[in-house]
Chains A and B, each alone.
Chain A
């Protein structure tokens, strides 16, 4: 039986409180510095120039090349020069994701631009809180789904780990509450994170009218959105509670009967989650960039959540092992968790690349703006998160022995966790704060806040029940699991 020590409790509460204070302080400081909006405008102009320089360079290279292939080839090249994303940048970036300031560089529109930058700055504390909330939601949600799969796949090896997954599944509740709060506040125009929530966006003739978003009104409207968010919360929390309840009941009753009940719950939840994992990704993340859409987005978000939840499970399991608990979990189980983390970091990369390469290759303006903004404004986090989420885990835990050594696994898990925080950051921030991003108090605060709550919910739930799911019908198989 695990005991939630006072020291751990203090740490968890301390993190939560410090995180909350940092965020509030950051929020207050952020409000007072909004007059610097002009500065942002300058930076933007400089960036355009830098881009122009880049194009000139590309053209040079092309010229040298074209010479070798004769004048005809040169013409063909020159014609297609316009297709090069960098060149199209100036026109496209203006027309789409900053459509409201198509002529922001003209003198008379300067004020409009300044106001937009002001909004972006105001969004930053909210977005930072939102990024952390989505990230920590993934840590619990991934394991909730994995827990359901254990039952419907009749998995034996994991029986000794189910209590860890159950406790982790409960960590979805607080991020869900925060997510609901932030999105509902957005509907009340407290912040401007979601483009489609802007007042009058669907009313023809209104100054904020946007034809594309008005066309999506059937799905993206406040009433339906609130219903959907509540359905997600209801369905997911229901599954987490039911799976836990039946599992606890089996300790004093019929293990096989409770296992069968959980199998039903798992089956229902899996079907429910198959739909809601996609739609929640559209609602909570993709609708920030309302003009843009990707059919792969749901899976891509899910894969990121799934892999980071394995990283968290590995850390928690190894923590419990280091306390001398979970003695029935041996190298083979840890190895399997490592394999899942490895496999799904590759799977995430596969989906990320599938989404990226099709958009990059087709180069359709309405799609490609999404990556152009990330390329122009978020190059460092964009590439850092790619290497953290793919290259580092592959190099660290590709080999079999590495997955059986706690040290390398912990290292890889930390890469994955940091990488997927950044992945969510790169998903959410560009659409809400544009180039007004950074990493300061407002970003650090929510991470500490949710980390503290994650630790608290996780460990207090672990302490509530024996770690051994003793009447699970496949417990013996799990203890003898070997590979």
Chain B
């Protein structure tokens, strides 16, 4: 995704997700480099078959949540204790800690808010999804009922083409780098 490609790319179009999955496994087992697969829906086990690294988004989410927790603690401290302490239900407002239970809902919500929103934005940023971004999809049929696989061409082109045909590709095209 998004990295510079030095080798030419061969694109193969399939019409079944099971075929794509087994094709990816077969190609990788035979030393080919499958750089990308476009699919109308997530295919279970495809990320593993392609050898993709596990996302670090969840680790980021933990720290985003932590940020939200600290922000909420500071917010409640500043607004409710320091800047404008109010007597609400006779609860102690001289120290943040003594009134902490009433701030837990705020802390919980902001933890979730920060984790969810920042995770979403991180996802957009990493994938280059910003307003006005051009679609990276090479073939509109992959948003409907077809699957497209990109394989880096490193050696014999004919051998790869034959291999893809054998694996069940419907169309094969070559893109120069």
Contacts and interface: CB of A to CB of B under 8 A. Distances in A.
A482 B85 CA distance: 53
Interface string B64-97: 0000000000000000000001010111111100
A444 to B, nearest CB: 33
A61 B104 contact: no
B102 A363 contact: no
A399 interface: yes
B58 A400 contact: yes
Contacts of A69: 85
Contacts of B90: 80, 82-84, 363
B101 A356 contact: yes
Interface in B27-54: 44-45
B85 A65 contact: yes
B62 interface: yes
A361 B94 contact: no
B89 A361 contact: yes
A28 interface: no
A353 interface: yes
Contacts of A361: 89, 91, 101-102
B92 A357 contact: no
A356 B100 CA distance: 12
A399 B58 contact: yes
Nearest to B85: A65
Q: Chain A CB within 10 Å — which of B58, B94, B95, B98 has the most? A: B94
Given A77-B87, A363-B90, A482 B58 contact: no
A357 B101 contact: yes
Interface residues of A, number: 23
A321 interface: no
A357 B101 CA distance: 6
A156 B127 CA distance: 35
A112 interface: no
A398 interface: yes
A482 B45 contact: yes
Interface in A163-188: none
A398 B94 contact: no
A356 B101 CA distance: 9
Contacts, number: 42
Contacts of B59: 399
A58 interface: yes
Given A353-B104, A360-B101, A84 B89 contact: no
B65 to A, nearest CB: 10
A71 interface: no
A400 B62 CA distance: 12
A58 B91 CA distance: 12
Contacts of A360: 101
Interface string A367-384: 000000000000000000
A217 interface: no
A245 interface: no
Contacts of B89: 83, 361-363
Contacts of A82: 90
Contacts of A357: 101-102, 104
A62 interface: yes
B87 A61 contact: no
A84 B92 contact: yes
Contact of A80 (B62, B87, B102, B104): B87
Contacts of B44: 482
A354 to B, nearest CB: 10
A50 interface: no
A76 interface: yes
A43 B102 CA distance: 32
A482 B89 CA distance: 51
Interface of B: 44-45, 58-59, 62, 85, 87, 89-95, 98, 101-102, 104
Given A65-B85, A361-B89, 4 more contacts: A361-B91, A363-B89, A363-B90, A482-B45
25 contacts: A58-B92, A58-B94, A61-B94, A61-B95, A64-B94, A65-B94, A77-B87, A80-B90, A82-B90, A83-B89, A83-B91, A353-B104, A356-B101, A357-B102, A357-B104, A360-B101, A361-B89, A361-B102, A363-B89, A363-B90, A398-B62, A399-B59, A399-B62, A400-B58, A482-B45
